[in-house]
Every structure is written in C-alpha cells, then in structure tokens.
Amino acid sequence: MLRVVEDINQYKELFARKFQIVLADNPKFRSFIYEAFIYGTAYVVGGYLRDILMHKESRDIDIILTIPNNKIIEILKNSHLEFNINRLSGIKIKLNKIDADIWSIDNNWAFANNLVKRNDDYILKNIANGSFYNYDSLVLNVHSRNFNFNNYNDFVKTKTLDIIQKLDSYKLLNPTIEANILRAFYLRKVFNIDYSNNCNNYLISRIGFLKDKYGSTVDRLLELKKKYVKYDSIINKKDIIDTIDYCYNKPKQTILKL
C-alpha cells in the first residue's frame, strides 16, 4: 500500500532498527560503513526507504557516499568484502540476506553530467532531485537520519508518475532507457497510476525510439523484461500493448493557472 510518513520520529526509529540489523548480520559491511563515515556522509536512497513505509522486506539497499570512487574501493578492499563494479561504476556487494549497491556521488549520472548541481547545504534535496522518477525519490542521511521524501509524497498523493527534471538533456542522457519504460509500465500495472504529461511524452518518444531501432517495441520489451525478475513476473504482452495504447491516447492534463 502506498503511504507517506505520518510520524517522522517513528520512521527514523524504524530505519535505524532495520539498518542496524543489516550491519549486525554483516560485520565486514559494518566495518566498511564505519570507515566510510570517517571520510564522508552516507545517504540511503530509493526502494529500501520505501519498503519501510510499505512494511516490506528489502532485497537490496542503495547507498550514495560523498567520497571519491577510488577511496570507496580502497575502503572496500580493507574491509575484505567481495564486490563487483558495473558498467556505470556502481559497486555491488553480496551480503547476507540482502545486496548493497554503492555509488560515489561523483559517479551518479545526474551529478556526473551536471544535470543536477551539487550544493552541500541542500544535498538531501539535490540527491532527491537526481532521481529519475518521483516514485524513487527518497533519500535519508544515515548520520542525522534527516530525509527528503517530497517528490515521492507527490507521487503518492496524486498517484501520478513524473520525471523530476524537465530538461530534455536530462531525459536523453539517462543511461537506462529501456528499464525506465518497463518501470513505468510496471508501476501503472501494480498501482493503477497516471502519467504526467512530462512522463508520458518521454515514454512516447522512447517507445518510438525502440520501434525505429528494433522494429518492434513490444518484442524488445518482452525480451528485456526477462532480465528483471520483478517485471517479468508482473508484466505480460497484453500489459505492454495496452500501456503503449494508453500512452498514445491519454488526454493531456490541464494545469490550472490561479
């Protein structure tokens, strides 16, 4: 069930309790986090925070560190954790019962491409605005437990998926185009949401891009979704066809000027 934070202190306590369990279950990871605290700040982002709100178990935890990537790798080696680095410079660590995805803020695609300006006085807001969809825009400072869920709260209240940044360059430079389409289709199927004009226009343009490149958008998405267990188990061919039809025939939203 979609929900917003109603009791701030209770939420912070729930996060602390859940995160401490992860650290207790993974002593090497705990050592890594504590050493990382010496050099910078850790921010948990996205689904792990949303799962707390929805009372769900988490399969992974995404953490952004304000530490250069080479320093993160040095600390990881000192902690004797096994890790892999993906093509986008994200670091994946297999832990007991959960995976951790670690990013240097310098390698976050929105900051690396100067699409979101970094200002340490407003870093929570900066990181939140670096998320692609408002549904994923949750960020919490592990040290202070201060958080910014404003964009996510808008999603819950309006049941409308939106792309936070409006610049075309932001949308074109996002490195996970096909995954973005599948995610939007998945969220509509699960939560019966609407798409903002900004989001819908993006989806139409990317659907057209896939058709031009692969000949069939539907076949390409059917092939791609096999890589994502969550999407593959929920989205079928009819869902893809129906959602594409919805995107092309959706009435434009009217913005009232007060």
Ordered DSSP codes for the chain: -----S-HHHHHHHHHHHHHHHHHH-HHHHHHHHHHHHHS-EEEETHHHHHHHTT---SEEEEEESS-HHHHHHHHHHHT--EEE-TTS-EEEE-SSSEEEEEEGGGSHHHHTTSS---GGGHHHHHHHTSSBGGG--EEETTT--EE-HHHHHHHHHTEE-BS---HHHHHH-S-HHHHHHHHHHHHHHH--EE-HHHHHHHHHHHHHHHHHHS-HHHHHHHHGGG-HHHHHH--HHHHHHHHHHHHHPPPPPPPP-
Q: For residue range 79-101, list pLDDT tens digits in order.
A: 999 999 987 778 999 999 999 99
Q: According to the model, what pLDDT value does residue 49 have?
A: 97
Q: According to the model, what pLDDT value does residue 257 have?
A: 37
256 pLDDT exceeds 60? no
Percent pLDDT > 90 in the chain is: 77
53 pLDDT exceeds 80? yes
224 pLDDT exceeds 90? yes
Which domains are delineated in the chain?
A: 8-157 (3.30.460.10), 176-249 (no CATH)
